[in-house]
Amino acid sequence: MPQMPATRLAPSPTGALHLGNARTFLVNWVMARREGWRIVMRMEDLVGPRIKPEAVAEVYDILRWLGLDWDEGPYTQSDDLGPYVDAMGQLAAAGLAYPCELTRSQIEAASVAPHAGDPHELRFEPGLRPELGPRLFEDRATNWRFVVDEDASVTFDDAFAGPCTEQPGRTTGDFVIWTKLGQPAYQLAVIVDDARQGITEVVRGDDLVDSTARQLLLYRALGLGPEPRYHHLPLVVGPDGRRLAKRHGDTRISAYREAGVSATRVLGLLAYWCGIVDQPREITLREIVAGFDAGKMSRERIVFDQEADAWLRA
């Protein structure tokens, strides 16, 4: 039986919601409401040791203020690590995961070529691997890596970005799927949840496009399926072309709200960035749903500038 279409809103409570990630959530939500996809709310809070409950509450508060709702959840990843532990057990038993205590500088020292992709990501040379074979997933207080075939080539047809091919063996090599904090790394947690929550449509920023191949390798290794369809959207950047961040000013939605900017005005700028209106103007979610056309969305990165900020605050 074909799966019922479903998507997820998957915020991480690490930084406050700003205009950039709000745009991605808006597009995700609007596509779901137009296409009849079920929306699952998933809080991806396994991102480090310290997540403040206020940060989680603020994400929900801001999404609701914008009018973005969901049909199922929220599910909070840290509530139950069982499904990720099971997946680790399966990968370790299949000889596809191993514990690794090497430090970043040891991996760096072994690196033969500068890495082309994310500068924070180091290629793990295959020579650093221990002997491979079936293992028990016992030591949860150490990093575990997933075995990536050096020649692995993963192709997927991104519904927004077009056909993509990645060679994770060349870019990252064996990557971390479990961390010494005693919790799954993002790449593992996200696919375990996408599969068990029946997610068929993943809509997210294109900073994650090169994670997709790693995620598909895990999907396949765990025998999960069917694989979701991916829609990677261009990010919002500052005038310097860098991803929207503090250096571009305070673009947190909460800061605009506190300054008295209405939700319809924030939505107006986001709608303009989605090609729904030719000029920013106050707009309701209902109008956005009616006017949305994925074909009209720019394939280029969106630039946030002083003019946009001034319009919001006018």
Contact yes or no for 113/124 (Cβ under 8 A):
no
CA–CA dist 176, 185 (Å, integer): 7
- What backbone torsions phi and psi does residue 182 show, to the nearest 5 degrees? 85, 30
SS3 2: coil
Smallest separation (angstroms) from ligand GLU to the CB of 204:
4
Of 14, 20, 11, 15, which is closest to residue 63 (Cα–Cα)?
A: 11
Considering only residues 25 through 44, tell me which ones interact with ligand GLU, judged by CB under 6 A: 44
- Between CA 190 and CA 183, with CA 138 as vertex, the angle to 5 degrees is 30
The reply on whether position 204 binds ligand GLU by CB under 6 A is: yes
Smallest separation (angstroms) from ligand GLU to the CB of 11:
5
* String of contacts with ligand GLU for each residue 45-84, x by CB under 6 A: ----------------------------------------
The reply on whether position 232 binds ligand GLU by CB under 6 A is: no
The reply on whether position 12 binds ligand GLU by CB under 6 A is: yes
Among the listed residues 6, 11, 228, 253, the single contact to ligand GLU using CB under 6 A: 11
SS3 236: strand
User: Which of these segments, 5-13, 126-134, 136-144, 300-308, binds ligand GLU (CB under 6 A)?
Assistant: 5-13
Written as six digits, the tokens of 14 are 């690490």
The reply on whether position 10 binds ligand GLU by CB under 6 A is: yes
The reply on whether position 208 binds ligand GLU by CB under 6 A is: yes
Among the listed residues 190, 216, 283, 288, the single contact to ligand GLU using CB under 6 A: 190
At 168, the amino acid letter reads P
- Name the one residue in this structure whose structure tokens are 């949840």: 193
Query: Which positions lie near ligand GLU, rule CB under 6 A?
Result: 10-12, 44, 190, 204, 208
